[in-house]
Amino acid sequence: MGLKRNVSLMTGLRYKGQGPMLTYVLHRIGGLGMAIFITIHMLSSFLGGKGGAFVNTIYENWIFQIFIFFCVLFHAINGLRITILDLFPKLIEHSREAIWIEWAIFLPTYGIAVLAIISTALGG
């Protein structure tokens, strides 16, 4: 069994990895979300028909747009942090500060985007 671990599930849930752990989890959620969405999106526009039209209505929904934009933007900004820290290993000393900078960039950018998406959805 690939899932066998030396720690119990409860220990895993109680693990407090704090900032780095949170970015890792969100990076994975964002990557998986994008991979699933883009696969479905490409298949639906390739196959077309009724199924494709139905899928279209889902991702033209503004709630879905807020979710997928979170995936994309967080994955992009967190990926940039990982890329910079990995390509310049000396900076790994400042990895905690890098996460703070990342949130300082992500939150306003995402906030503005969500505002734009909601105001477009409400204003037509």
Rounded to a whole number of angstroms, the minimum distance from the CB of residue 26 to another protein is 14
* CB-based contacts of 66, cutoff 8 Å, min separation 6: 114, 117, 118
Buried b / exposed e along 88-101 (16+ C-beta atoms within 10 A): eeeeeeeeeebbee
CA 85 to the chain's CA centroid: 19
* Residue of 38, 53, 101, 104 that binds another protein (CB under 8 A): 38
Q: Which is nearer to another protein, 64 or 100 (CB)?
A: 64
What is the binding site for another protein (CB under 8 A)? 2-3, 28, 31-32, 34-35, 38-39, 42-43, 45-46, 65, 69, 72, 76, 79-80, 82-83, 86-87, 113, 116-117, 120
